[in-house]
Amino acid sequence: MILLVDAGNSRIKWGEFEAGQWRHKDAVPTSDLALLAERWQRLSPAWIFVSNVVGGELVELVERTFPAGTRQYWLTPKAEAFSLRNRYTMPDSLGPDRYAAMLAARQHGFGHVVVASLGTALTVDALTAEGEFLGGMILPGYRTMLRSIEQATRGVRAGLGQWAAFPTNTSDAVETGIVSALVGAIEAQRGRLQAHVGAEAAALLTGGDAALIKPHLRGPVTLVEDLVLEGLLWVAKEGGAAGA
């Protein structure tokens, strides 16, 4: 069995892949590593593939939980690998979650595409049909914006509103403003990519708040859950991990 792990800022998600199919997927809050260790006690993976933005705590947990002979692969972005050219000034400083999501986008057969991950942060990365990652941007995600405006203002209760074309109450105004900001960032990046390549670009969404934003986007839009795990699985297959 192969254990694939997407350790993000808010949640740690994992999938168990064996005999050509997903056997089980699960997630715990990133803040609860004790629960994660408990859930992983029953597992006996031959390989572990990890995208980690949590830091050393997860490394230590893996070392404590699994036998010393368990093979591990901690994804580190490279300048050129897995059919993707990474134009980051320092290629290995790109978040491994963003890197894995773009690898998955390549395997899903998208041409020119912006890959938008909507979690604690919104990341929007521009990827050409030829596999060149041109660059991307990071801004606060939906729930981060909600918390921020609630903490920075008096009398505003965020998270209770609905999107409206012309909001007539404060809660709806906050909801509409945040959704519009996130949609605007994605569409702006898509517009820049289209201008750069001279062709239409799709939008590929993933992350916990992707379903909330998808209806507000124009043009070709696809939502793929667990895109980071899909990218890790492709890395495992490319590396010849048994069971992938």
Write out the binding residues for ATP: 6-13, 120
Which residue type, as a one-letter code, is found at position 69?
A: G
Q: Is 97 a catalytic residue?
A: yes
Hey, how many other C-beta atoms are within 10 angstroms of the C-beta on 122?
A: 24
CA-to-CA dists, residue 118 to 20, 30, 82, 207, angstroms: 28, 16, 24, 5
Which residue type, as a one-letter code, is found at position 6?
A: D
Which one, of 102, 95, 179, 191, lies nearest residue 141 by Cα?
A: 179
Q: Is 75 exposed, middle or buried (0-12, 13-18, 19+ CB in 10 A)?
A: buried
Which one, of 174, 127, 130, 179, lies nearest residue 149 by Cα?
A: 174
The single residue of 26, 32, 92, 97 carrying the catalytic annotation is: 97
Residue numbers belonging to the annotated binding site for substrate: 88, 95-98, 170
**Dihedral angle sign, alpha carbons of residues 87, 92, 98, 99:** positive
**Where in the sequence numbering do the catalytic residues fall?**
97
